[in-house]
Chain A
Amino acid sequence: MQSYVQIENASMVFNTKKGRFTALTGIDLHVDQGEFIALIGHSGCGKSTLLNLVAGLLDATEGVLLLANKEIKGPGPERGVVFQNHSLLPWLTAFDNVHLAVEKVFGASESKTQLKARTRAALELVGLTHAANKLPGEISGGMKQRVGIARALAMEPKVLLMDEPFGALDALTRAHLQDELMKIVAATKSTVIMVTHDVDEAVLLSDRIVMMTNGPAATIGEILTVDLPRPRDRLQLAHDPQYHHLRSQVLEFLYSRQMRPKEAA
Chain B
Amino acid sequence: MSAANPTSENLDDILAGPDIVKAPAAAPKRRTPYFETESGKRLAEGTVTLFRNAIPPLLGIVLFVTLWALVANSGKSIPGPAETWSAAVELFSDPFYDNGPNDQGIGWNILNSLYRVGLGFGAAATVGIPLGFMIGRFDFLNRMLSPIISILRPVSPLAWLPIGLLVLQKAEPASIWVIFISSIWPMVLNTAAGVQRIPQDYMNVARVLNLSEFKVFTRILFPAVLPYVLTGVRLSIGVAWLVIVAAEMLTGGVGIGFWVWDEWNNLNVAHIIIAIFVVGIVGLLLEQGLMLLAKRFSYD
Contact = CB atoms under 8 A, between A and B. Distances in A.
Contacts of A105: 209
A89 interface: yes
A105 B219 CA distance: 16
Interface residues of B, number: 16
Interface of B: 201-202, 204-205, 207-211, 215, 219-220, 223-224, 299-300
A77 B219 contact: no
B208 A85 contact: no
- Interface residue SS majority, chain B: helix
A146 interface: no
A84 to B, nearest CB: 9
A87 interface: yes
Given A100-B219, A137-B299, A137-B300, A87 B207 contact: no
B223 A91 contact: yes
B208 A89 contact: no
Interface of A: 55-57, 74-77, 79-81, 83, 85, 87, 89-92, 100-101, 104-105, 135, 137, 155
Going nearest first, the 4 A-B pairs with the smallest beta carbon separation are A87-B201, A91-B223, A91-B299, A75-B207
A109 to B, nearest CB: 15
A79 B299 CA distance: 29
Nearest to A135: B299
Contacts of A81: 204, 208
30 contacts: A56-B207, A74-B207, A75-B204, A75-B208, A75-B210, A76-B208, A77-B208, A77-B209, A77-B210, A81-B208, A83-B201, A87-B202, A87-B204, A87-B205, A89-B202, A89-B205, A89-B219, A90-B299, A90-B300, A91-B224, A91-B299, A100-B211, A100-B215, A100-B219, A104-B210, A105-B209, A135-B299, A137-B299, A137-B300, A155-B209
Contact of B208 (A57, A90, A135): A57
Contacts of A80: 208
Given A92-B219, A100-B219, A85 B210 contact: no
Contact of A104 (B202, B209, B223, B224): B209
B299 A104 contact: no
Contacts of B224: 91
B295 to A, nearest CB: 14
A92 B299 CA distance: 9
A85 B204 CA distance: 12
Given A87-B204, A137-B299, 17 more contacts: A57-B204, A57-B207, A75-B204, A75-B208, A75-B210, A77-B210, A83-B205, A85-B201, A89-B205, A89-B219, A90-B299, A91-B224, A100-B209, A100-B211, A104-B211, A135-B299, A137-B300
A57 B201 CA distance: 11
B67 to A, nearest CB: 46
A104 B209 CA distance: 7
A163 to B, nearest CB: 10
Contact of B223 (A57, A79, A83, A89): A89
Contacts of B209: 77, 100-101, 104-105, 155
